[in-house]
Amino acid sequence: MARIGFVGLGIMGHAMALNLVDAGFDVVVWNRTASKADDLVAAGAASAHSPADLASRCEIAMMCVSDTPDVEAAVFGRDGIADGLRPGGLVIDHSTISPDATRRFAERIVDLGGHWLDAPISGGSEGAANGTLSIMIGGETTQVERAMPYLRTIGTTITHVGPTGAGQLVKAVNQILVVGNQLAVSEALLLAEAGGLDLKTTIGAIEGGAAGSWMLSNRGPQMIERDWRPGFTIDLQQKDLRLVLEAADGLGVPIPGTSLIFQLYRGLQERGLGSEGNHALVKALENLSGIELSADG
């Protein structure tokens, strides 16, 4: 088996790297804040001094960072992955970034003799911790097959969706559905609260039917308990929605519902709530209505 590198040890990346270590793979890790790698090293991973050092020691470099500029810096910045890329080395980007930038980055890596897969993920911090992420992959079939033993360690729904950039575009589709569903859950629970229904009983009554969803079952109870710990923060959700809006604009596709949700999240950011979970979207509706969800609802 190949030695695997992992760059970016945030909420998602840390759990993904730990699953690779726990599965017995030979893993090298790097993070801008080095202390985030301490427990991974204790679990058996090796640490790298830089992304370039990591890439020079690994056949495959996986990466999960926040935004397009972060990917560019980690790969093409000083001591970036590109500086240490081995001949035939594979870069797998699990970040959610611009499809257009993804294609440009991939071309540069190919010019250096390497390969690129865009493989954004969905499933929240729970999915990352449990190794049950959904992974949507753009790139060459042979490279997808090469990566599959490692991807199966971090995800359960792994789909090759097309050429380079297609993974990022499918992630944009995913995020439209995520935020649209979150708005629906927020509106539904607010109506139940206003009508005096027991919110937990209401969720139990409907989650097994046509209205059921991951967001309702996983984030609904958190909303009722007013537990705003993030599986995915508002700030990161907004970053993704900017990418969605840019992609839709470039393709001439109207997405008015998503645009509305972007503005609702912007209002929450202005209130200093950007570090809360994206399920705090309900707070925007609470502010409009004067009604607040409660565990006693």
Q: Write out the catalytic residue numbers.
A: 171
How many other C-beta atoms can be found within 10 angstroms of the C-beta atom of residue 43? 12
Give the integer Cα–Cα distance in Å for 163 and 177. 22
Which is nearest to 176 in space by CA: 281, 256, 288?
Answer: 256
Instruction: Tell me the torsion sign for CA atoms 23, 24, 25, 29.
Output: positive
The contacts found for 10-13 with CB under 8 angstroms, 24 or more apart, are 10/36, 10/64, 10/65, 10/66, 11/125, 11/128, 11/230, 11/231, 11/232, 12/64, 12/94, 12/121, 12/125, 12/128, 13/63, 13/64, 13/65, 13/94, 13/128
CA distances from 82 to 87, 88, 89, 95, 185 (A): 11, 12, 10, 17, 43
CB 284 within 8 A of CB 265: yes
CB 63 within 8 A of CB 91: yes
Q: Which amino acid is at 123?
A: G
Give the integer Cα–Cα distance in Å for 23 and 44. 11
